[in-house]
């Protein structure tokens, strides 16, 4: 490690202040840049998303519902409703709540799971928890009066909360659970969607809300021999407690005499590994890329604090959180946790003095910036300050190195075996992958029954009938748990599990064959009266429920607008859709540089960044997107939408 005193020359930012923490570094930035590039390059694969396989055919059992007590028996339903909402997760529930508040009561929610909850219905693995603060993450807290027990809620409490919402808004009586939509077909003559299900239901609906979840379809790596394994296997999103024993809090007594392999070390594995490590006779964790593991420090909620908050506090809090995350200026950091810490500490002194520049600085560190942004920014803000501004980009990079050095140092401090500690260190910028916050994951590797099998970016070689092979060594196991995440970037209808056929039978797969095309992420030309919820071409937040809530408000606004005008058909205009796609492409350029340099993962389309720039979220960040939508709503003319 080199003491980089020479960096003093870049320690002043472009408006003459000394940026914090950048005077002296106990690391060599050039060496780290090289190391990051090497780590990235060795992980880039030509097959990108195709390295994964669909959970169909022999693998269909991976998506069966292990949580229902019995299969619901019922007759097929034929009916007509005003709105069908597909998906009973937070998105679907919020859509229902906002429609109800706007006076629309004639809706049906169709959900494939046995109950409401979406992500939280499926992901009940031991340790499952949300690392976004619960007061920010759980929507509608002011309406339900619910007080989460801790700063970071766990999966069981979140699922209970989903039920509280469902009960409060009487959603169960308007739901069709354990029901899989198989297709939605537009009938132009009737002006209705025909929604078909696996239970032979035929529901006619004037409007359909597609809220089927961006991370809903489990994926498996296409590892040679994966079919040959004769032991037990399951995916983390369908945890088999009948095999492991215990529950989401742990206590996996069924594993006491079992040798277990976990493949994958993303945010899910980080949460379940400590429980499996504590219970299994032997645990092998097969790692391709280590996660960044920062401090979590969960705390009990002070109910008095919650009770004394002024009306509107939750919206203010989540806006404050996302503002910090995406660079908009704020007076104080209300959440004050690991997510906000990096930004608060490194740039706090700059923030209040120069909000617009602070915002750009924040973009830079979150990766929502690039040289192009600096160049654009230069035109707008600092045409004569080019050199200093590029120095700022360097400062951001240095700050990121420094943060990640802390994260890497933590591995050394906590993990006793130096080789294992080294293998657990992430070498990429913090927001290249979902950062993790956990206090028990790293210590698990000190247990005598837990082995990290570091595949150094390669992934496992082979699965045999008895276990897993890497580097010529076979690890015999009784059970393989796939913590390999979810499909992102594959065909929409494949992930949704149903096809959407619009005007003249055009399918959404065909419409989007060469890339996404929407208006505001929500409307699609050729698919009238359909509303799409999700991050695509929309404002993506770390607090995903915040985006969903904003989308539900937007939906209700449009539905009210239609009612007021007596309109019954709505469709994005050709021009508005094209313009929005162009906006997304333009804004995607802001992130492309950063994403290019990142280690592959679903955040950067497995390293294939520029193939379809229109398949991005809104590159200006969520707060900018929400403001844009608010302005659009305030205009009140539903511009860009054709009404009949």
- Least Å distance, CB 67 to ligand NDP, is 18
From 158-166, 283-291, 548-556, 610-618, span contacting ligand NDP (CB under 6 A): 283-291
**Whose Cβ is closer to ligand NDP: residue 192's or residue 410's?**
410
From 17-25, 189-197, 265-273, 490-498, span contacting ligand NDP (CB under 6 A): 265-273
DSSP string, 330-365: -SS-SS-SHHHHHHHHHHHHHHTT-HHHHHHHHHHH
Q: Interface with ligand NDP includes 485 (CB under 6 A)? A: yes
Size of the site for ligand NDP (CB under 6 A): 25
Query: Which helix (H) or strand (E) covers residue 501, if one does?
Result: strand 499-501
**Whose Cβ is closer to ligand NDP: residue 241's or residue 381's?**
241
Q: Which residue in 81, 109, 262, 269 binds ligand NDP (CB under 6 A)?
A: 269
- Least Å distance, CB 485 to ligand NDP, is 2
CB 562 within 8 A of CB 531: no
Q: Which residue has the tokens 């028996």?
A: 73
DSSP string, 115-173: SS-THHHH---TT-B--S-HHHHSTTHHHH----SBSS-BHHHHHHHHHHHHHHTT-GG
Report the distance separating Cα 644 and Cα 567, nearest Å. Answer: 5
Q: Contacts with ligand NDP in 322-381 (CB under 6 A)? A: none
Range 254-259, long-range pairs (CB < 8 A, 24+ positions): 255/279, 255/280, 255/281, 255/479, 256/280, 256/281, 257/281, 258/282, 258/478, 258/479, 259/283, 259/284, 259/467, 259/476, 259/477, 259/478, 259/479
Q: How far is CA 81 from CA 78, 104, 193, 195, 236, in A?
A: 10, 11, 10, 11, 36
Q: Interface with ligand NDP includes 286 (CB under 6 A)? A: yes
- Least Å distance, CB 484 to ligand NDP, is 4
Q: Which residue in 111, 131, 478, 487 binds ligand NDP (CB under 6 A)?
A: 131
Q: How many CB atoms lie within 10 A of CB 480?
A: 23
**Whose Cβ is closer to ligand NDP: residue 362's or residue 480's?**
480
Q: Which residue in 32, 130, 208, 273 binds ligand NDP (CB under 6 A)?
A: 130
Q: Interface with ligand NDP includes 264 (CB under 6 A)? A: yes
**Whose Cβ is closer to ligand NDP: residue 221's or residue 225's?**
221
Q: Contacts with ligand NDP in 586-605 (CB under 6 A)? A: 601-602
From 92-100, 285-293, 339-347, 388-396, span contacting ligand NDP (CB under 6 A): 285-293
Report the distance separating Cα 274 and Cα 255, nearest Å. Answer: 13
**Residues whose CB is less than 8 angstroms from the CB of residue 631 and which lie 6 or more positions away in sequence, other chains included:** none
Q: Interface with ligand NDP includes 289 (CB under 6 A)? A: yes
Q: Interface with ligand NDP includes 483 (CB under 6 A)? A: yes
Q: Contacts with ligand NDP in 201-220 (CB under 6 A)? A: 215
Q: Which residue in 96, 110, 248, 267 binds ligand NDP (CB under 6 A)?
A: 267
> Reduced to 3 DSSP states, what percent helix, strand and coil does the chain have, rounded to the nearest 5?
40, 15, 40
- Least Å distance, CB 486 to ligand NDP, is 6
Of 344, 343, 381, residue with least CA distance to 365: 343
Q: Interface with ligand NDP includes 460 (CB under 6 A)? A: yes
CB 334 within 8 A of CB 321: yes
Report the distance separating Cα 460 and Cα 166, nearest Å. Answer: 42
Q: Which residue in 93, 155, 177, 223 binds ligand NDP (CB under 6 A)?
A: 223
Q: Interface with ligand NDP includes 116 (CB under 6 A)? A: no
Q: Interface with ligand NDP includes 265 (CB under 6 A)? A: yes
The mark string for 419-458 relative to ligand NDP (x by CB under 6 A, - otherwise) is: ---------------x------------------------
Binding site for ligand NDP (CB under 6 A): 130-131, 215, 221, 223, 263-269, 271, 286, 288-289, 434, 459-460, 483-486, 601-602
């Amino acid at each position: 490690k080199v003491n980089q005193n020479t960096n003093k020359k870049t320690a002043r930012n472009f408006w003459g202040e000394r940026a914090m923490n950048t005077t002296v570094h106990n690391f060599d930035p050039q060496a780290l840049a090289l190391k990051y590039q090497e780590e990235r390059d060795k992980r880039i694969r030509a097959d990108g998303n195709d390295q994964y396989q669909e959970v169909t055919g022999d693998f269909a059992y991976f998506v069966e519902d292990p949580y229902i007590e019995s299969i619901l028996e019922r007759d097929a339903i034929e009916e007509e409703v005003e709105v069908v909402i597909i998906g009973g997760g937070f998105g679907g529930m919020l859509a229902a709540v906002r429609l109800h508040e706007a006076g629309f009561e004639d809706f049906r929610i169709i959900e494939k799971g046995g109950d409401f909850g979406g992500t939280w219905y499926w992901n009940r693995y031991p340790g499952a928890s949300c690392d976004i603060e619960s007061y920010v993450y759980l929507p509608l807290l002011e309406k339900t009066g619910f007080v989460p027990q801790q700063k970071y809620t766990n999966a069981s409490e979140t699922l209970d909360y989903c039920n509280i919402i469902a009960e409060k808004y009487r959603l169960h009586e308007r739901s069709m659970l354990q029901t899989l939509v198989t297709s939605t077909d537009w009938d132009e003559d009737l002006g209705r969607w025909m929604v078909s299900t696996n239970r032979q239901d035929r529901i006619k609906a004037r409007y359909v809300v597609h809220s089927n979840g961006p991370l809903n379809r489990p994926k498996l790596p296409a590892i040679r021999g994966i079919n040959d394994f004769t032991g037990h296997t399951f995916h983390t999103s369908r945890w088999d407690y009948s095999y492991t024993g215990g529950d989401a809090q742990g206590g996996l007594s069924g594993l006491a005499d079992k040798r277990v392999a976990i493949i994958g070390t993303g945010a899910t594995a980080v949460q379940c590994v400590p429980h499996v490590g504590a219970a299994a006779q032997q645990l092998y964790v097969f790692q391709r890329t280590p996660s960044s593991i920062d401090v979590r420090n969960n705390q009990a909620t002070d109910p008095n604090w919650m009770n004394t908050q002024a009306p509107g506090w939750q919206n203010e809090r989540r806006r404050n959180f996302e503002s910090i995350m995406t660079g908009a200026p704020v007076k104080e950091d209300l959440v004050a946790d690991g997510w906000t810490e990096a930004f608060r500490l490194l740039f706090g002194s700059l923030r209040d003095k120069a909000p617009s520049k602070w915002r750009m600085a924040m973009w830079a560190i979150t990766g929502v910036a690039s040289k192009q942004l600096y160049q654009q920014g230069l035109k707008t803000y600092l045409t004569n300050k080019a050199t200093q501004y590029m120095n700022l980009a360097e400062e951001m990079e240095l700050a990121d190195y420094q943060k990640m050095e802390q994260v890497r140092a933590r591995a050394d401090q906590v993990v006793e075996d130096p080789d294992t500690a080294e293998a657990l260190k992430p070498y990429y910028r913090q927001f290249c992958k979902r950062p993790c916050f956990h206090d028990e994951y790293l210590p698990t590797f000190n247990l005598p029954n837990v082995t990290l099998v570091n595949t150094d970016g390669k992934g496992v070689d082979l699965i045999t009938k008895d276990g897993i092979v890497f580097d010529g060594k076979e690890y015999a196991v009784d059970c393989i748990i796939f913590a390999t995440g979810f499909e992102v970037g594959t065909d929409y209808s494949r992930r949704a599990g149903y096809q959407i056929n619009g005007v003249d039978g055009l399918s959404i797969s065909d419409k989007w064959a060469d890339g996404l095309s929407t208006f505001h992420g929500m409307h699609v030309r050729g698919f009238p009266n359909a509303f799409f919820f999700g991050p695509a071409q929309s404002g993506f937040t770390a607090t995903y429920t915040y985006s969903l809530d904003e989308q539900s408000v937007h939906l209700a606004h449009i539905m009210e607008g239609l009612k007021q005008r007596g309109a019954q058909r709505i469709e994005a205009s050709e021009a508005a859709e094209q313009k929005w796609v162009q906006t997304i492409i333009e804004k995607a350029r802001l992130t492309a540089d950063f994403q290019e340099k990142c280690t592959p993962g679903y955040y950067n389309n497995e390293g294939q960044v520029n193939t379809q720039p229109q398949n991005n979220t809104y590159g200006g960040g969520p707060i900018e997107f929400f403001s844009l939508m608010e302005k659009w709503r305030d205009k009140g003319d539903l511009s860009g939408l054709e009404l009949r």
